[in-house]
Amino acid sequence: MCRVEVSAEIVAQEGAWCWFADPRALHYRSPAGDIDMTYIGYIDVHGNIKAMQYDHLRQLNTEVLVRSCFQPDDHDNPTFLVLPDQRVMVFYSRHTDEACLYYRVSAAQGDITTLGAEHRLETSHNTTYPSPFILSDDPEHIYLCWRGIRWHPTIAQLSIPGKHDDVEFTWGPKQMVQSTGARPYAKYCSNGKDKIYVAYTTGHPDNENPNFLYLSYFDVNSHNLCAIDGEIQGSVDVEPFAINKTQEFVDAHPLTVVDSSPYRDWVWEITLDADEHPVIAMTRISPNKKSHNYYCARYDGQQWRLNLIAHAGGHFHQSPDIEHCYTAGMAIDRKDSRLIYCSVPVTGQYGKVYEIVAYQLDGNGEIVSAQPVTANSQHNNVRPYCIADSQESPLQMAWMNGDYYDWIVSERHPEGYCTSIVTDFDGYAPMATELPEVTLPYKFQKSQDFALSLTLNPADADKKGNLVRLGDLSYRVDPDELLPEIKIGKKTYKSSNRLATSDGWLQMPRGTDGIWHKPAPLETFDLRIEYANGVLTSYINGRVDQTINVLQ
């Protein structure tokens, strides 16, 4: 059971996520025990996709700049996958309006501070919510799920990244289901061997009343989509499985339909219990969208059982004119699927605030206990997430804390998502270094470790783009693209992160238009360069940008 009396610890002052792209946080411990890391990914209102890496062996946390100047939209949070060679792959995409997925791969095992260059996976359709898997029946491939073809659940098989991190589609993309609704929302999990389970809705609850909840699984060996009892619904290679909201469909597919009640259902999470039976965290939203309730749906081997967990209030955020189906959020414990975390409205020291409460259920799904995880908070605690594969880690849970106005930054709601990322762990150590601090002028030598900290203005670059010269080492910026690069001797190492923000979205209409709006150059930024044992690391505003093995 996760701890429920916790000391909340902020790991990112600015960050948010949606709840459909996962794993948004992941724990990995290598078989040899020489790697023990937690990765947590998020995006801030300036369009910076970021990740916190906590090294449990060194008790050290580091924030990494995965991609600056991205679409400032909380649907774009990154997701993580540990590859067979223990490198870490990070996926992300824009929200619905670009026909590609992005990824970066770490150069070092288990260490995302060494992310390589950004790559694109081109598609013929829009992309949102990448969720990756590797299964033991096919360890030579990645299976990636996302909302894609016709805005429906989509799956593809990818090659494992090669020497230059190159990846290609080796099968697919294929649409898994076809709904009568425009936008089915899906959550995924796997048994780690041969099945990817997908829990999905008819469409968006704003548009579907009622909005049913369904479950199928994809068999990686046969490419069939199946009901929970193994009934074949069809081959994904041939055509998507057609679903609807008729009584005839419910009667014909009783185990596929998880809930056909007269509510606007939405799905939050799916996991498997010890018997490999699906457990689903879901909400029922009233037809008028004003009343939200948390439920747990559990397959008992014969049928679906739904249990009410808690009243969720209504929409949690500060904007009364949008997103009335945005519930505050729920999560399933990784160790015990009968432990459900819900963000519920509680009256405390600062009035009515959304707090996280842990509900322990018995074997029949009835509530045994309810214990607070947070209490007397000044701001809402929402969208909790139990970190994937964290069962043996002291860092098990993360959530958003703060004010929330919209999922995208725009002229209509310029505040966007003013939230921090908080965890249930207080063992973090500040980044520290014993490197000798130097000042300018300084001449770089491969045999001497050093650290240099400067505040710079990108506009101050010389005619060659140099911002800093350290003998054979120079820190430069392309004046047009605003992309920094480090030149050491004759070798040039280009960053994927512009010295800019996406604050230009503040002047744009609300929505996803597929346009890359003009970057807003940083007026100043803090640059730190550290060099130790032949490895040079550059930081932009305290976040790792590039890590370079100089001696290779």
The DSSP bridge partners found for residue 72 are none
- Mean pLDDT for the chain? 96
Q: What is the mean pLDDT of residues 213-224?
A: 98
Residue 376 domain flag: yes
Confidence of residue 1 (pLDDT cuts 50, 70, 90): very low
Name residue 23's amino acid. P
> Is the domain of 418 the same as that of 494?
no
> Is the domain of 490 the same as that of 344?
no
- The fraction of the chain above a pLDDT of 90, given in percent, is 95
Please tell me the predicted confidence (pLDDT) of residue 479.
Answer: 86
Residue 417 domain flag: yes
Backbone angles phi, psi at 224, to 5 degrees: -85, 145
Residue 342 domain flag: yes
Please tell me the predicted confidence (pLDDT) of residue 434.
Answer: 86
Cα 459 to the chain's mean position, in Å? 34
* Count of CB atoms situated within 10 Å of the CB of 334: 20
> Is the domain of 176 the same as that of 303?
yes
Give 164's contacts (C-beta < 8 A, 6+ positions apart). none
Residue 436 domain flag: no
> Is the domain of 414 the same as that of 535?
no
Please tell me the predicted confidence (pLDDT) of residue 431.
Answer: 62
Check whether 198 has a pLDDT greater than 50.
Answer: yes
Task: Write down which residue in 404, 423, 442 finishes a domain.
Answer: 423
Please tell me the predicted confidence (pLDDT) of residue 162.
Answer: 93
> How many angstroms separate the CA atoms of 216 and 204, rounded?
18
Task: Yes or no: say if 422 and 377 are a contact pair by the CB < 8 Å rule.
Answer: no
Task: Write down which residue in 407, 423, 439 finishes a domain.
Answer: 423
Q: What is the dihedral of CA 308, 314, 317, 321, to 10 degrees?
A: 150
Q: What is the sign of the dihedral through the CA atoms of 120, 125, 129 and 132?
A: negative
Check whether 189 has a pLDDT greater than 60.
Answer: yes
Residue 428 domain flag: no
Q: What is the mean pLDDT of residues 251-279?
A: 97
Residue 222 domain flag: yes
Task: Yes or no: say if 375 and 355 are a contact pair by the CB < 8 Å rule.
Answer: yes
Give 477's contacts (C-beta < 8 A, 6+ positions apart). 458, 461, 465, 467, 483, 484, 485, 499
> Is the domain of 473 the same as that of 415?
no
> Is the domain of 227 the same as that of 116?
yes
Cα 160 to the chain's mean position, in Å? 20
Backbone angles phi, psi at 234, to 5 degrees: 150, 165
* Count of CB atoms situated within 10 Å of the CB of 286: 14
> How many angstroms separate the CA atoms of 192 and 148, rounded?
23
pLDDT single digits (tens) 362-390: 999 999 999 999 999 999 999 999 999 99
pLDDT single digits (tens) 443-493: 999 999 999 999 999 999 999 999 999 999 999 999 889 999 999 999 999
> Is the domain of 469 the same as that of 512?
yes
Residue 3 domain flag: no
User: Residue 38 maps to which CATH number?
Assistant: 2.130.10.10
> Is the domain of 270 the same as that of 220?
yes
* Count of CB atoms situated within 10 Å of the CB of 86: 17
pTM value?
A: 0.97
pLDDT single digits (tens) 512-550: 999 999 999 999 999 999 999 999 999 999 999 999 999
Which structural domain, as residue segments, surrounds residue 281? 9-423
> Is the domain of 52 the same as that of 166?
yes
> Is the domain of 409 the same as that of 467?
no
Residue 441 domain flag: no
Please tell me the predicted confidence (pLDDT) of residue 7.
Answer: 58
> Is the domain of 271 the same as that of 349?
yes
Task: Yes or no: say if 364 and 379 are a contact pair by the CB < 8 Å rule.
Answer: no
Number of domains in the chain: 2
Q: What is the mean pLDDT of residues 67-87?
A: 98
Instruction: Return the biggest CA–CA distance within the chain.
Output: 78
CB-side exposure of 343: number of CA atoms within 13 Å? 26
Please tell me the predicted confidence (pLDDT) of residue 427.
Answer: 80
* Count of CB atoms situated within 10 Å of the CB of 317: 21
Query: Which residue is it, tokens 């924030």?
Result: 63
Task: Yes or no: say if 107 and 164 are a contact pair by the CB < 8 Å rule.
Answer: no
Q: Pairing mode, if any, of strands 241-242 and 177-178? A: parallel
Confidence of residue 5 (pLDDT cuts 50, 70, 90): very low
> Is the domain of 366 the same as that of 480?
no
Backbone angles phi, psi at 150, to 5 degrees: 55, 30
Confidence of residue 191 (pLDDT cuts 50, 70, 90): very high
Check whether 304 has a pLDDT greater than 90.
Answer: yes
Task: Yes or no: say if 244 and 251 are a contact pair by the CB < 8 Å rule.
Answer: no
